[in-house]
Amino acid sequence: MNFDTSCFSQLNLPSEVINQISAAWQYSQPSFPVDGVYFLQEDYLRKMVDMTKLQKEAIPVFMECGAKIHANEALARLAWHCHWMLHIASHELQEIGVPWRITPLDCTFFPAIVNLAAFPHVEAWYRQRGIPENVLRDSLSVVSVWTQYFMEQNGLWGCDKSWMSNHVVPRIFRLHRLEFEFSSYHSPFKIYRHDGDGRLAMLAPPDQKVFADGFFCQADQEASYTTTFTETETSVTGYPALPNGRLANQPVTLPLNEWSLCAQSGDPMLGVHIPAVDPLDYNECKAAIEQARDFFPRYCPEFKFKGFACGSWLLDPTLQDFLPKTSNIVRFQSLFNLYPSPDGNDWQTRERVFGNPDLPLDKVPLKTSLQRIVHDQILNGHRFRSGCMFLPR
C-alpha cells in the first residue's frame, strides 16, 4: 500500500480533517517507526491503564482500540502523525493544526492514546524535579474523569477531551481534590492588599454598568450605577467586591502608603479547576490548597505565582441563597474571596447541572435538590451567573 495521504480513504475521515492532516503529513512520516510504534505496544497500553486509573469496564475497550490502531498501518501512521504534531513538531508546524480529537474506525480512545504518547516525557519531567509518582498518577487520572464524561454523553467508553492534553504538557497538576494550572490572571479586577493586616480589596474595572443587585448588568438590564477606577500617586479609588461576592455601590479610596498592588491582569497565577469526581469535600479542598502552597514553590520554584484564581459556576454566590449552609458547594465558596465576573451568565450552570445547557426547562432532569433549585429559580426569574475567586499565595 502507498502510505501517502491516499491511505486515509479507508478511515472514513471527513475531508476537512484529511486536508489538515495532509498539510503536515510529509513532516511526520519520515520518523514513523516501521518496527512498531512504542505507544501502541500492549505493555505500554497496560501501563497507561494503570497510570490513568481507568475504569475497570473501560479497560477492554481501551486495549482493543490500541490493538486495532497497532494492527492497521494507516491508523498507526495517523496516530504517529497526531502524536508527532502535538508533542514533537516545531511551533511553526503546529500552527497548521492537528485534528487529533477524532475516532477513526470507531477507535473511541484514539485521542487519549495519542495524548498518552507523551508519557515518557512527562514521567522524566516529574522525575527530574523529584515529584512523587502519586502526583503523576493523580494528575493523569484526568483521563478516567473524561472517560466517565464520554460515557455519560455517548453511552460508550472512550475519551476525546482536549483538556487532558494540559496534564501531559504538563501544565495542570492534581493535588487532593483540586487541579492547579500554570496560568496567568485574566481578570480586569485589580487586587490590593493591606500592608499591615493582609486584608484584600478587589477593585472592579472602570465603565462597567452594575445592576441594583451588585452584579454586572446583562444586556437587558438597566444600570444602577457605572463603575469608576482612578489611580493617583498616593491612592487608588474604585468599587470593591463585598464579602458576599457582589460589588459595593460606593467606591473606596485606598492610600498607597498602606495598600500594595497584589495582583493584576497578566500576573502569573495558579488556576484552580474542579474535576468531576467525588463530592467536593471541604477538608479535601482545604488540604489541596495547603499542599499547592508547598508543592509549587518546592518543585516549580521558577513559577512565581501571585495566588490562586478561578472562574466557575460553582462560585456563583447566589447559590448560597438556595443551598443549605452545610452543602459542599457553599462550604467550598467560603474558602475564597469571591467577586463578580463581568461577563457572568448561567450557561455553565445549566451545562454542569443539567448536563446540557440547551435543554428547555421542561426537559431538564430534576433528580437532585440543585437541579430542582436551578429549574425553579430560573422559572422565578432568578439569574444564576458564574463567579470568580482570588486567594493570595
Ligand X SMILES: CC(C)(COP(=O)(O)OP(=O)(O)OC[C@H]1O[C@@H](n2cnc3c(N)ncnc32)[C@H](O)[C@@H]1OP(=O)(O)O)[C@@H](O)C(=O)NCCC(=O)NCCS
Q: Which residues bind ligand X (CB under 6 A)?
A: 274, 276, 279-280, 312, 314, 323, 327-329, 352-353, 368-371
Cβ distance 239 to 247 under 8 Å? yes
CB of 366 to ligand X, least distance (A): 10
CB of 280 to ligand X, least distance (A): 4
Specify the residue for cell string 493570595.
392
Q: Is 166 left (phi over 0), alpha (psi -120 to 50) or beta?
A: alpha
Distance CA 263, CA 389 (A): 12
- Please give the C-alpha separations between residue 254 and each of 21, 104, 136, 233, in angstroms, as whole numbers: 55, 59, 43, 11
DSSP run (H or E) holding 143: helix 142-154
Q: Hey, which residues does 386 pair with through a beta bridge?
A: none
| CA angle (264, 172, 177) in 5-degree steps | 100
CB of 279 to ligand X, least distance (A): 3
Radius of gyration of the chain (CA): 24
In the complex with ligand X, the residue whose CB is nearer, 261 or 280, is: 280
In the complex with ligand X, the residue whose CB is nearer, 5 or 345, is: 345
Q: Which residues of 171-205 are buried (b: 16+ CB within 10 A; e: fewer)?
A: ebbbbbbbbbbbbebebebbbbbeeeeeebbbbbb
CB of 353 to ligand X, least distance (A): 4
Q: What is the DSSP string of 206-219?
A: SS-EE-TTSSBPPT
In the complex with ligand X, the residue whose CB is nearer, 110 or 354, is: 354
CB of 210 to ligand X, least distance (A): 24
Q: Which three cell numbers stand for residue 261?
A: 498592588
In the complex with ligand X, the residue whose CB is nearer, 105 or 280, is: 280
In the complex with ligand X, the residue whose CB is nearer, 110 or 182, is: 182
CB of 370 to ligand X, least distance (A): 3
Q: Are strands 190-194 and 259-263 parallel, antiparallel or unpaired?
A: antiparallel
What are phi and psi for residue 67, nearest 5 degrees?
-65, -35
Q: Is the dihedral of CA 242, 247, 251, 256 positive or negative?
A: positive
In the complex with ligand X, the residue whose CB is nearer, 306 or 350, is: 350
In the complex with ligand X, the residue whose CB is nearer, 251 or 355, is: 355
In the complex with ligand X, the residue whose CB is nearer, 123 or 281, is: 281
CB of 205 to ligand X, least distance (A): 22
Q: Which alpha helices (H) appear in 161-228, and where do they start and end?
A: 165-168
In the complex with ligand X, the residue whose CB is nearer, 241 or 389, is: 389
Distance CA 268, CA 46 (A): 37
In the complex with ligand X, the residue whose CB is nearer, 91 or 363, is: 363
CB of 65 to ligand X, least distance (A): 26
CB of 328 to ligand X, least distance (A): 3
Contacts of 257 (CB under 8 A, 6+ apart): 234
- Please give the C-alpha separations between residue 363 and each of 30, 166, 216, 356, 359, in angstroms, as whole numbers: 52, 34, 29, 10, 6
CB of 34 to ligand X, least distance (A): 43
Burial class of residue 379 in the structure, from the number of CB atoms within 10 Å of its CB (0-12 exposed, 13-18 middle, 19+ buried): exposed
